[in-house]
């Protein structure tokens, strides 16, 4: 298989667009990890539910995905906030493994409840601009993917400003760094936990909303994104949201090139192998920060 420069560029662009979505999902996961030190297995499932919400809003009420974006954000922020209060808060003192198993249970319940309610048949949101493709010479740019990428980047930027420029954002970062000291400084740590769970979930929900126009919606779609987000947050150093952002982009590119060069069946196997090597050789990730447990 030979690469002409135009094929290379097209693959790179496709990879970066996909990576932008991975970035947003991973930022959400790493925000939760940063403060709660907990890997949320239900992250992908919540994203999947958001895709269904987008689908039903579009199918039943004719609301365009771009318009239902704020609805997804608000609703899933509240859901994440509530989930943390109801499920995680009572076992916050337990070992991390127990909390991870709790979210694993949540994943099973959500995923199968969705299969029961809406079957496993894939669905798709079809909007007017679904097949719009811009062409610049040899370059092809798929508009829905491009729009999703732009929105994902914008939201990541806003999130960065929120975390660095506001009191609440600073409180989140302080708690992530050292929750005991944060408590001493008068930060309501429990509120920060719920807040970051809410924000993290909202990130996943927005990502789900964005891809609903070009990604088939089925109950298992979250699994892939969860897996890639796992890899991205380790690659980007757990809890480091800028690292997760960059790692997400890298993974998107790696995946697209793997699919092209090897086989689309192995598209996620190669990132997984990178992940494994990373866990074994450099578990603290590429961007420094928190060390192993």
Partner 1 sequence: MRLDIKAYVYILFFTTLFIVPVLTNSHLILNILIMVFFYAYLSLAWNILAGFAGQYSLGHAAYLGIGAYTTALLYVRTGMIPWLGLLVGAALAALFALGISYPTFRFGIKGYYYILTTLAVAEILRRIFLYWDLTGRADGVRYPLKPDSFLLFQFHMDRTPYYYIMLVFLILILFISYIIRNSQFGLHLLAIRDDEDAAQSIRINTLKCKLIAAAISAALTAVAGAFYAQYTLFIEPDTTMSLFISIDILLPSLMGGTGTIAGPLIGSFLLTPLAWIFRIAYGAEVLHMIIRGVALMIIVALIPKGIAGTVIDYYIRPRHIKR
Binding site for partner 1 (CB under 8 A): 39, 87, 90-91, 94-102, 104-113, 115-116, 227, 230, 234, 263, 265-266, 268-269, 272-273, 275-276, 279-281, 283, 292-293
Residue 291 CA to residue 293 CA, distance in Å, equals 6
3-class DSSP state for residue 231?
A: helix
CB of 279 to partner 1, least distance (A): 5
Query: 283 or 289: whose CB is closer to partner 1?
Result: 283
Rounded least distance, CB 248 to partner 1, Å = 17
Q: CB of 285: closest distance to partner 1 in angstroms?
A: 11
- Cβ neighbours of residue 211 under 8 Å, at least 6 residues apart? 21, 51, 148
Rounded to the nearest 10 degrees, what angle do helices 269-281 and 221-235 cross at?
30
Instruction: Give the ranges where 62-123 is alpha helix by DSSP (H).
Output: 65-83, 96-118
Q: Within 13 Å, how many C-alpha atoms sit on residue 214's CB side?
A: 20
CB of 88 to partner 1, least distance (A): 10
**Structure tokens given for 105:** 């249970």
Collapsing DSSP to helix, strand or coil, 144 comes out as helix
Q: Kindly tell me which of 2 and 97 has the beta carbon lying closer to partner 1.
A: 97
What 3-state DSSP class applies to 131?
Answer: coil
Check residue 136 and report its DSSP letter: E
Q: Which of 138, 187, 113 is nearest to 11 (CA)?
A: 138
Q: Which is nearer to partner 1, 161 or 269 (CB)?
A: 269
User: How far is residue 288 from each of residues 68, 181, 235, 241, 293, measured CA to CA in Å?
Assistant: 37, 22, 10, 12, 14
The least CB distance from residue 228 to partner 1, in Å, is: 12
| 191 vs 290, beta carbon nearer partner 1 | 290
Residue that has been written with the tokens 């943390």 in this structure: 84
Q: Cβ closer to partner 1: 33 or 55? A: 33
Residue closer to partner 1 (CB basis): 72 or 268: 268
In whole angstroms, the minimum distance from the beta carbon of 5 to partner 1 comes to 30
Q: How far is the CB of 243 from partner 1 (least distance, A)?
A: 16
CA distances in angstroms from 91 to 99, 106, 204, 235, listed in the order given:
7, 14, 24, 28
Contact of 65 with 207, CB cutoff 8 Å: no
Contact 163, 245 (CB under 8 A): no
The kind and range of the H/E element at 182 are helix 179-184
Shortest reach from residue 258's CB to partner 1, in Å: 12
The smaller minimum CB distance to partner 1, of residues 110 and 194, is found at: 110
Pick 49 or 155: Cβ nearer partner 1: 49
């Amino acid at each position: 298989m030979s690469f002409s420069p135009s094929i290379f560029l097209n693959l790179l662009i496709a990879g970066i667009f996909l990576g932008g979505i991975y970035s947003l999902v991973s930022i959400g996961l790493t925000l939760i990890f940063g403060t709660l030190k907990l890997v949320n297995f239900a992250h992908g499932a919540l994203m999947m539910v958001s895709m269904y919400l987008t689908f039903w809003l579009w199918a039943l009420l004719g609301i365009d995905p771009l318009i239902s974006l704020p609805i997804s954000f608000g609703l899933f922020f509240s859901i994440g906030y509530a989930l943390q209060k109801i499920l995680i808060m009572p076992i916050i003192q337990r070992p991390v493994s127990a909390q991870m198993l709790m979210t694993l249970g949540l994943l099973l319940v959500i995923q199968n409840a969705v299969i029961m309610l809406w079957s496993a048949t894939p669905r798709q949101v079809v909007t007017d601009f679904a097949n719009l493709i811009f062409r610049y010479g040899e370059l092809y740019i798929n508009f829905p993917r491009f729009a999703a990428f732009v929105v994902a980047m914008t939201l990541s930027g806003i999130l960065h400003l929120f975390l660095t420029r506001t009191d609440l954002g600073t409180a989140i970062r302080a708690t992530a760094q050292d929750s005991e000291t944060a408590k001493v400084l008068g930060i309501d740590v429990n509120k920060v936990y719920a807040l970051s769970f809410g924000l993290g979930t909202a990130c996943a929900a927005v990502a789900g909303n964005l891809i609903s126009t070009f990604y088939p919606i089925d109950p298992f779609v979250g699994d892939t994104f969860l897996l890639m987000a796992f890899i991205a947050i380790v690659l980007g150093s757990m809890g480091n949201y800028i690292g997760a952002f960059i790692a997400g982009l890298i993974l998107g590119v790696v995946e697209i090139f793997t699919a092209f060069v090897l086989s689309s069946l192995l598209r996620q196997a190669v990132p997984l192998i990178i992940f494994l090597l990373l866990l074994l050789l450099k578990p603290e990730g590429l961007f420094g920060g928190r060390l192993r447990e």
